Amino acid sequence: MAKVKTTFVCQQCGASSPAFLGRCPSCEAWSTMIETIDERRNPAIAAVRPHAERPQPLTVLGASVLKRIPVPIVELDRVLGGGLVPGTLVLIGGDPGIGKSTLVLQAAAALANDRGPVLYVSAEESAQQIRLRADRLGIISDQVLVMSSTDLDAIVATASSLAPALLIVDSIQTVSVDDISSAAGSVSQVRECTSRLMQWGKSRDIPVFIIGHVTKEGAIAGPRVLEHMVDAVLYLEGERHGHFRVLRAVKNRFGSTDEVGVFEMAESGLREVRNPSEAFLAERHGHATGSSVAVTVEGTRPILVEVQALTSQSAFGLPRRSANGFDAGRLQLLVAVLQKRVGLALAGQDIYANVVGGMRIGEPAADLAVALAIASSFRDRPVDTDLVAVGEIGLSGELRSVSQIDRRLGEASRLGFSKAVIPASAARRGTVDIAGLSVQRADTVGEAIEISITDS
């Protein structure tokens, strides 16, 4: 087969060169020349051009209801938006060793049972290693077909002849095409491989999962460009040594990006956690100082999590502030509000705050719980153990209302909490009474602290 012509194109100004250059001759930027397949000279693509599709009115396009393939792992199914859309390309990212291969192998086995063969291509582990993992996970299925290859064209050829229910490529950074001279894992390789897999999946209506590694900075190794190309991006998060894993959609062309799936990593693989609130609160010690309970909403699901804080006299001139599970900048802001608006003398204190269980909270509704935990540790008085706290804190120390307050309180009541402190403004918008829950309203964070932190 004739080799496809490639050129090096500057990602900044678009200048091109037939050979690799470290610096763009036009805009003089460094390391912006990326190897790209020259489509005009690619006979395969050129041949397609004359038969380009004619535009059609929206109303005569195919069915308006998507057929979805249900995935038997409920937590994964939910994050995908209620099943897999045929032909969709899903990128699964996550830190090294977090459990990506485990998750996709379990998904492969579950889907193979229902839908027939699934092709699992591992470019970084041998078939033997996958067999060992499958044994540990208790997967015995002759419908999960394993192939160890790094050659993308060979993978696509095999997949075409098998027509599996799902194709999995673990990982996109280790496969390559011959047409591009740069090494596997380079921007041009990763982009070309992804684009070929996408075309393959879409033309046959077969869903494809690709796994991508995440660098220390949080970007999918080198090419963030992948995130734009694929239909859905799911991240598996969690503390590597903790046992909870949260699967989160950061992009989904076929569903909401708010949903999360919660799993527990066990010897036998990832176990679904159907009741995350109970799981996250399981190790909570009543009457400990510096602990409070927040109610966060992920998609349609309210989840209760314990927030812990520790304040201690700083030994150095510049006190330490460390946040785990939520934004560090938000912690600084809450500390400043507690100092200035509530009068807590936190200036000389080291402050550590932590969301228990490896959950990451992105929404400000947890502000009040964090503030209560800090105030509780600082005053050395426990927060009422039967109480949940919901509310965003403004810069003047005022409590601001948050969305879906009824749903949050409903979950707290279901888990046996008897008290809740919420923003006064939220109550005025017609909060219904929640059975068994005494709801106290506060205008400011100072008031909420007086309500929640007992003196005995």
Of residues 83 and 99, the one with the C-beta less far from ligand ATP:
99
Segment lying near ligand ATP (by CB under 6 A), choices 7-15, 72-80, 96-104, 425-433 = 96-104
Is the Cβ of residue 98 or residue 412 nearer to ligand ATP in the bound state? Answer: 98
**Measured between alpha carbons, how far is 20 from 169 in angstroms, rounded to an integer?**
29
d(CA 326, CA 357): 12
Please give the residues from 255 up to 294 whose contact with ligand ATP meets the rule CB under 6 A: 265, 267
Cβ proximity to ligand ATP, 106 vs 277, nearer residue: 106
Shortest CB 94 distance to ligand ATP, Å: 6
Least Cβ distance, residue 53 to Mg ion (angstroms): 38
Q: Are 29 and 23 in contact (CB under 8 A)?
A: yes
226, 214 in Cβ contact below 8 A?
Answer: no
| Shortest Å, Cβ 304 to ligand ATP | 25
360 binds, among Mg ion, ligand ATP, none (CB under 5 to 8 A by kind): none
Query: Strand pairing partners for 387?
Result: 419
Q: Nearer to Mg ion by C-beta: 212 or 446?
A: 212
Q: Tell me the residue number closest to Mg ion, measured at CB.
A: 101
Q: Name which of 101 and 377 has its Cβ closer to ligand ATP.
A: 101
CA–centroid distance for 339 within its chain? 34
Read off the tokens for 82.
């209620």
Among 62, 96, 317, 343, binds ligand ATP (CB under 6 A): 96
Q: CB-wise, 167 or 399, nearer to Mg ion? A: 167
The nearest distance, CB 170 to Mg ion, in angstroms, is 6
Cβ-based neighbours of 98, under 8 Å, separated by 6 or more:
236, 237, 238, 240, 245
- For the bound state, the minimum distance from the C-beta of residue 428 to Mg ion, rounded and expressed in Å, comes to 51
Sheet harboring 349-355: ordered strands across? 321-324, 349-355, 301-313, 291-298, 387-389, 419-423, 438-442
Q: 346-359 burial, b if ≥16 CB within 10 A, otherwise e?
A: beebbbbbbbbbbb
Residue placing its CB nearer to ligand ATP in the complex, 50 or 97: 97
68's contact among ligand ATP, Mg ion, none, with CB below 5 to 8 A by partner kind, is none
By CB under 5 A, residue 101 contacts Mg ion: yes
Q: How far is the CB of 448 from ligand ATP (least distance, A)?
A: 39
Pairing of strands 269-272, 301-313: unpaired
Q: Any idea which residue has 């001759």 for tokens?
A: 25
**Single-letter amino acid, residue 27:** C
Find how far residue 220's CA is from the centre of its chain: 12
Contact 371, 326 (CB under 8 A): no
Closest CA to 309 of 381, 245, 390: 381
One of 81, 99, 255, 446 touching ligand ATP (CB under 6 A): 99
- Give whichever of 142 and 267 is closer to ligand ATP, judged by the CB atom: 267
- DSSP β-ladder status, 244-252 and 260-266: antiparallel
Cis ω before 171 (30° cut-off from 0): yes
CB of 177 to Mg ion, least distance (A): 22
From the list 97, 317, 343, 430, which residue makes contact with ligand ATP (rule: CB under 6 A)? 97
Question: Out of ligand ATP, Mg ion, none, which partner does residue 98 contact, by CB within 5 to 8 A per kind?
Answer: ligand ATP
How many degrees, rounded to 5, is the angle at CA 227 between CA 160 and CA 111?
45
Q: Which stretch binds ligand ATP (CB under 6 A): 22-30, 94-102, 307-315, 368-376?
A: 94-102
Question: What is the footprint of ligand ATP within residues 107-166 (CB under 6 A)?
Answer: 136
Q: Which of 370, 362, 353 is nearest to 452 (CA)?
A: 370
Nearest approach, Cβ of 378 to ligand ATP (angstroms)?
36
Sites of contact with Mg ion (CB under 5 A): 101
Sites of contact with ligand ATP (CB under 6 A): 94, 96-102, 136, 265, 267
